[in-house]
Structure 1
Amino acid sequence: MYTSSPSRLVPFEATQKSDWIAQVLNKLCDQPVQPTAQDYSALQQALSKGDGPMEAVIEWVMQNPKQHRQYFETALFKGLDALPENIPELDSFFRHVETKPSWVDDDKINRAIDFTYRLGINNGLVLRDVSLMAGYMFPGFNQPLILTGALKQQVGTRLAETTKWWIDITERNGLERYNHGFSSTIYVRFIHALVRHQLKKSERWDADTWGVPINQFDLAMTNIAFSSVVLLGIRGLGIFPNKAEVDDYLHFWRYVGWLMGVEEQWQVKKESEGWRFMYWLQFSHPKSDASSAALGASLSKEPFEREYRYLRSLQQKLAYRQHLEITQFFIGKKRMQSLGLPNRPAAWFAYYLIARNVVLYTGAKRIPKLKHFLENNGRQMQKMGLALYKNQSKKLASMHK
């Protein structure tokens, strides 16, 4: 009935079983969360499919890596007109990404950026301690990191790279052509395709198990980690966005996903779609393994790489405990063990954030000055996060030539 698929994907029959989570989601979503036969086929194909438009560019780049990569970067940072000649592969790709889809609404994007600023440190905490840390429980995401030597790299460097990209795309007009958010996103997309190209040729990559490296479904789920997971996480921390804020936020990340190469069928247009795709994670990833514990333990110790200005040792230890408590609050003590993390007596920092956020964000709905303060102060706090990785962040200039 179905074409062959990587062994990481369970048989179709196993996806049809119902549990209490499915029963709850079935009441909240527009359609059953269990995949239909058509959904399952699409999931099979997504696990075996990369990013066609960028892969065409990579194939051309690899014909003359040094010179052609320079041409790609010239087109990215200066435009097609700066190239010495017309290059069909670059012309086709850049004319595509430079043309916004008809559905993009700039007003929604601007409102989403305002909302992002109001979230302040809560956004970063959810991304780090829930989206990223909990993501390590799904080994399919971990394989490219393991095989490209990410464990040998300082985790602070990886966080600095991600934080810098996130800051860039959430700047005012950051996603406009030639601004840092746009160029950073296309540059990351290029690196994804380059890693995909190299791993597919490597004898160490087990395609029968994992499918294509950094495939369509994993790309989509990474985008959902920045959107749907954050919306769930901030609610857990006492911030309750209204429908318009949710719609704007998802719209922003839909466009980011489009720029990153996520195909339309995997772009989340409403929150229930994100919940449905998240439910499917259990079908496309085996249980946590050694890579989960290795990456989880590495991330947990990241605070000890931070360059705090005052009382460095004390602040590092405090941040270490606070991040563990947030992760434990969301995933529980049992899953902490699967990530190689020590259990905390209680999630005190999460409880503090809930109390603080309920007061502040409930008040901001009624007090315009407080809302304005949260936006201004929140953005300052978000940028301060990158400053914790001073040495690492200085190395990111290549993304912004």
Structure 2
Amino acid sequence: MIAANENIKSNDNGWRESWGVKFKWTPEHLAADNLKSWIYTYDTVSTMAIDRLNEISISSHTKRSGNIDSIPGEEKKVRGDLYELLQKHASTDDTIGRLWDEINTIPEWVHWEQIERGQEVFYRYGGPAITALTFLSLLGGMGSGRTVETLDRTGGFSVDVVRRRLLETTQHTLNVTRDLESIKPGGDGFVDSIRVRLLHAAVRRRIMQMAEKEPGYYDMKTFGVPINDLDCIGTINAFSTALIWMGLPRQGIWLRSQEIIDYLALWRYVAYLMGTPHDWMSTPESARRMMESLLVADIKPSKASANLANNIIAGLQDQPPTHASREFLCAQTYWLNGKEMSKELGIEEPSLYHTALVVGQCILFATLSYVNRSISYLDERNIKDKSKGALGYTTKFNLKYVPSFDRTTTVRGLAPIHAGRPRVPGSVERAALASLLTSAIIACIVSSWFCVKVVRWATTS
């Protein structure tokens, strides 16, 4: 439900603080009532295209088998690669062709040189960016209890599959940011974005059909249409503005003005491809106001939020390539989301030791980021050193996690049990510890030098 949350602190000068973010509220900010209309609107173009693809799919099956009843109720959905089906039928069906024409029309505000610079921003700050997207954007994003009502019904965030789900999201992000050809029509990032858009339409269609049969399954009056416009705005916000003004600064990194403009331009184009309202991203000022408005109106964790957030940690715990401990993952969650949000999500409070490790990691990230971006050779090398993937294969974003009446709640899964085996700290924790110790040694040397200078000055004066 869209309603101003109880976490807001404000004063008479118009300053507010919500979930650890302090900002000045202006008439241009969007109050809860202004945002509410967006929970009842959605991407109708892709939804109608999915409807037509489904009709074509059923018709094709009927011709082969001669009997539509041979398709089980839950299997009456589009089969195959959604993007390939879209491409195949775009020239022969007006409804499908409308979506195809839209995604292949480049908006006049898109400038490819700027989009490419926006992609470079991501790789310039690769380590802290991935960390922020994992613990702030994805895990912290579970704080929107209304949005979680849809995620909860797909089963895609149950503890046994959540890691794969996160890696699929990583694949999309890496393809979107990889290079200019990848985000242009036909490129991997472009195709991934359209596949995710079609997947959203298929999930929306499925849940709406189920809610029509069983009104108690999903309350559209309270939660809005599944995967509505505000949900999609929130997702784009999590990957763009939240990273710029929350995720990176909380790790000691502040982007330059032009970097902010370029990075927003990249994700505005991604929003366009995914059928998401995007005019709010036209300037840094309006983009930041949207982020702050969402913090006030749409972030209200629920029990399901806590279940899914804990499943993310359980799914990442002791997994390659970092082999990070649960304690370290919890410490990163607290550092990037704040104590109040983390407690609302049911994340256990970390020890001082693991919090110190996160400080060490932030020192390492900030140092490397500022040094690399200040030296052209290092900056170019860092940008060119791009990851080639995250899954070991290429996902097609098909509808694997189908909402059903017997899957209404994603319960909190259990963390892996290690049967008393001594645990070796993962690579990320070792790097953080090394950074922390190095910083402490340097601080001691500088302090000692300063003290010696003071003593010498005092004895000679």
**How far apart are residue 349 of structure 1 and its match?**
3.2
**Residues 1:200 and 2:200 aligned together:** no
**How far apart are residue 271 of structure 1 and its match?**
2.7
Cα contact 1:297–1:340 (8 A) shared by 2: yes
**Residues 1:48 and 2:40 aligned together:** yes
Cα contact 1:174–1:181 (8 A) shared by 2: yes
- Residue in 2 that maps onto 1:278: 291
**How far apart are residue 288 of structure 1 and its match?**
1.7
Distance 1:122 1:143 in 2: 29
Which residue identity is paired with 2:308? L
Which residue identity is paired with 1:207? M
Equivalent residue in structure 2 for 1:235, among 246, 249, 260? 249
Corresponding residue SS for 1:301: helix
Equivalent residue in structure 2 for 1:248, among 254, 258, 262? 262
**How far apart are residue 395 of structure 1 and its match?**
6.5
Corresponding residue SS for 2:317: helix
Call closer, same or farther: CA 1:229–1:348 in 2, change over 3 Å. Answer: same
- Residue in 2 that maps onto 1:362: 370
Equivalent residue in structure 1 for 2:98, among 92, 96, 111? 92
Which residue identity is paired with 1:60? R
Aligned pairs for 1:136-147 (under 5 A) are 136-147=142-153
**For 1:84-118, what per-residue CA distance to the aligned partner results, in whole angstroms no more than 9, with x for missing partners?**
96211121111111010010010001111112111
Corresponding residue SS for 1:114: helix
More helix by share: 1
- Residue in 2 that maps onto 1:129: 135
- Residue in 2 that maps onto 1:25: 23
Distance 1:116 1:52 in 2: 31
Distance 2:357 2:98 in 1: 50
Cα contact 2:309–2:345 (8 A) shared by 1: yes
Corresponding residue SS for 2:276: coil
Corresponding residue SS for 1:59: helix
**How far apart are residue 278 of structure 1 and its match?**
2.4
- Residue in 1 that maps onto 2:277: 263
Call closer, same or farther: CA 1:72–1:234 in 2, change over 3 Å. Answer: closer
**For 1:187-233, what per-residue CA distance to the aligned partner results, in whole angstroms no more than 9, with x for missing partners?**
10001011111111223111121011111011011001000111121
**Residues 1:185 and 2:183 aligned together:** no
Equivalent residue in structure 1 for 2:123, among 102, 111, 117? 117
What value does the CA root-mean-square deviation take over the aligned residues?
A: 2.9
Q: Which moved more, 1:217-226 or 1:319-328?
A: 319-328
- Residue in 2 that maps onto 1:374: 382
Corresponding residue SS for 1:20: strand
Distance 1:72 1:396 in 2: 12
Distance 2:103 2:130 in 1: 28
Cα contact 1:221–1:277 (8 A) shared by 2: no
Corresponding residue SS for 2:182: coil
Call closer, same or farther: CA 1:321–1:270 in 2, change over 3 Å. Answer: farther
Distance 1:364 1:216 in 2: 38
**For 1:89-148, what per-residue CA distance to the aligned partner results, in whole angstroms no more than 9, with x for missing partners?**
121111111010010010001111112111122111000111111111111121111112
Distance 2:90 2:299 in 1: 49
Q: Which moved more, 1:96-105 or 1:326-335?
A: 326-335
Cα contact 1:15–1:35 (8 A) shared by 2: no
- Residue in 2 that maps onto 1:35: 30
Distance 1:336 1:301 in 2: 15
Task: Choose 1 or 2 for highest CA Rg.
Answer: 2
Identity fraction in percent = 22
Distance 1:129 1:398 in 2: 22
Cα contact 2:118–2:263 (8 A) shared by 1: yes
- Residue in 2 that maps onto 1:156: 163
Cα contact 1:51–1:216 (8 A) shared by 2: yes
**For 1:30-74, what per-residue CA distance to the aligned partner results, in whole angstroms no more than 9, with x for missing partners?**
x435437xx844x23211011011112122223243547669643
- Residue in 1 that maps onto 2:239: 226
Distance 1:126 1:120 in 2: 10
Distance 1:166 1:103 in 2: 22
Number of equivalences: 364
Call closer, same or farther: CA 1:84–1:321 in 2, change over 3 Å. Answer: closer
Distance 2:82 2:314 in 1: 37
Cα contact 1:15–1:34 (8 A) shared by 2: no
**How far apart are residue 19 of structure 1 and its match?**
5.3
**Residues 1:210 and 2:208 aligned together:** no
Call closer, same or farther: CA 1:336–1:46 in 2, change over 3 Å. Answer: same
Which residue identity is paired with 1:366? S
Q: Which moved more, 1:67-76 or 1:150-159?
A: 67-76
Call closer, same or farther: CA 1:305–1:356 in 2, change over 3 Å. Answer: closer
Which residue identity is paired with 1:32? P
**Residues 1:74 and 2:84 aligned together:** yes
